[in-house]
Chain A
């Protein structure tokens, strides 16, 4: 049986998780202290994903940048494509938390949404 040792990134606790695998299939997850850890471990050894956070430019706002994130996690291999795609995005103030900054980013089916309120000035 193959064993993989992971550090959970679900929250800052950073639980040390051991995943037992056989033939590419997860047999057992131990060391996690919550359900999130179990989910993370199963995903990490089969199809690792991440939330991407970044910023895009805003025009007419009280700040020049608005922070944003992928609404859900995306395949780890797409992180750089998404960062690149966001470089050219520009939105107009006002912006509210949850507003879609870019829909279906890099064909992941996931929207990038604003994580900060920006006032129009």
Chain B
């Protein structure tokens, strides 16, 4: 087995952009390892449009967006292995992987980019009562079946959860002739983007019931009916509010979780909030030379931001290999408070950071006419008013090296939601 300096785990949008950036930084020996039979990751099944407005200034579908990056990887002659599963990443960055032609093999990498993406929360993790018949799918599984394999999972559909994939699949299955009866959402607000509520539900008259959840699944062989009920502020079903639907299919779109089994086995420190690695401004994890980007780091709404983030991770991984690690060691923690749930990155190295660092985060509730405020120590640096903020939409703050250099004595940065 050929040795590689940089191994990128995952050939989706994050892995592809990281590989391109690492090569453009001058690094030669790069390998992308992908477990599916083609590059592109989840974009291959996201056939809807709306991708790439930031990156390419045009509105692309998922497969088109993926192809732009696949082409860049191919043009640069970057190596990749398909149908290959990474089994382990050791703390010393030795990668153990396997496929049906090479068998099991190891690569002693000098740096690693984690780009494994995320997975959907499953029924088992949701504690939904009722039988366990056929006909219960995660929204993403249904998406793959319909869009790539050409199978319809069902004809009369109830969707639990208003995540974007669920909304997109409500429209998709409607267009393919299914009847989508209702989308039920446990929370009092939607988990998906507003535009998807408009163009996937409103356009087709599909009702969205907020503060509702599934309380029963009927049918022993196949789903025959679903009962939903309203939930109170404690998110417990309210007796007497049950509504029954005759249907053959239940789709679950109840959140995405970064896929970090490999990271956590390698000893990378994970955030209990994002379930992704804790990183500094170079997107380096708690292990030297291990970087993370894309949905494995924290779940994004926009692939454009995944590509931007991955470009940084790839570039920094290449620099780590080519230049070695040189840093002053000074780092500032970013404290997320008053409605800000977390930030990525968590640490900024004021002496070693790029000229600007984009700090991305999510809020914990719906906020109207509030402001995002940034403090260096106790001094307010910026305040930006926002009409609406919601957990389903990622926010960002840009911090510049120049700004930070004016505050050499602070020990932390605070980002919070406050009165406008």
Contacts and interface: CB of A to CB of B under 8 A. Distances in A.
Interface string A83-99: 10000000000000100
B63 A116 contact: yes
A9 B47 contact: no
B67 A10 contact: no
A14 B393 contact: yes
B149 interface: yes
Interface string B61-102: 111100100000000000000000000000000000000000
B47 A115 contact: yes
Interface string B166-183: 000000000110000000
12 contacts: A10-B53, A11-B53, A12-B195, A12-B301, A51-B49, A51-B59, A53-B47, A53-B49, A64-B150, A65-B148, A65-B150, A115-B47
Interface in A53-84: 53-55, 57, 62-65, 67-69, 76, 79-80, 83
A9 B62 CA distance: 16
Given A7-B195, A16-B194, 9 more contacts: A12-B195, A36-B53, A51-B49, A54-B176, A64-B148, A67-B47, A69-B47, A76-B203, A79-B175
Interface residues of B, number: 34
B64 A64 contact: no
Interface of B: 38, 44, 47-50, 53-54, 59-64, 67, 146-150, 175-176, 193-195, 197-199, 203, 301-302, 387-388, 393
Nearest to A119: B38
A76 B199 CA distance: 10
A38 to B, nearest CB: 15
A42 interface: no
Contacts of A63: 148-149
Contacts of A112: none
B175 A83 contact: yes
Contacts of B44: 116
A97 to B, nearest CB: 6
Interface of A: 6-14, 16, 36, 50-55, 57, 62-65, 67-69, 76, 79-80, 83, 97, 115-117
A21 to B, nearest CB: 19
A65 B149 contact: yes
Contacts of A79: 175, 203
B197 A7 contact: yes
Nearest to A14: B194
Nearest to A70: B49
A79 B48 CA distance: 14
B409 to A, nearest CB: 37
A59 B149 CA distance: 13
B195 A9 contact: yes
A65 B147 contact: yes
B53 A16 contact: no
Contact of B63 (A9, A16, A67): A67
A6 B150 CA distance: 34
B61 A69 contact: yes
B295 to A, nearest CB: 15
Contacts of B197: 7
A100 B50 CA distance: 20
Contacts of A54: 47, 175-176
Contacts of B203: 50, 76, 79
Contacts of B61: 53, 67, 69, 115
Contacts of A65: 147-150
For the complex of A and B, the 3 pairs showing the least CB-CB separation, nearest first, are: A14-B194, A67-B47, A116-B63
Given A50-B203, A76-B203, A55 B388 contact: no
Contacts of A55: 47, 146-147, 150
Contacts of A36: 53
Contact of A16 (B67, B150, B387): B387
Contacts of B175: 52, 54, 79-80, 83
A82 B53 CA distance: 25
A7 B48 CA distance: 18
Nearest to A51: B49
Contacts of B301: 12
A68 B63 CA distance: 10
Contacts of A69: 47, 49, 61
B146 A115 contact: no
A50 to B, nearest CB: 7
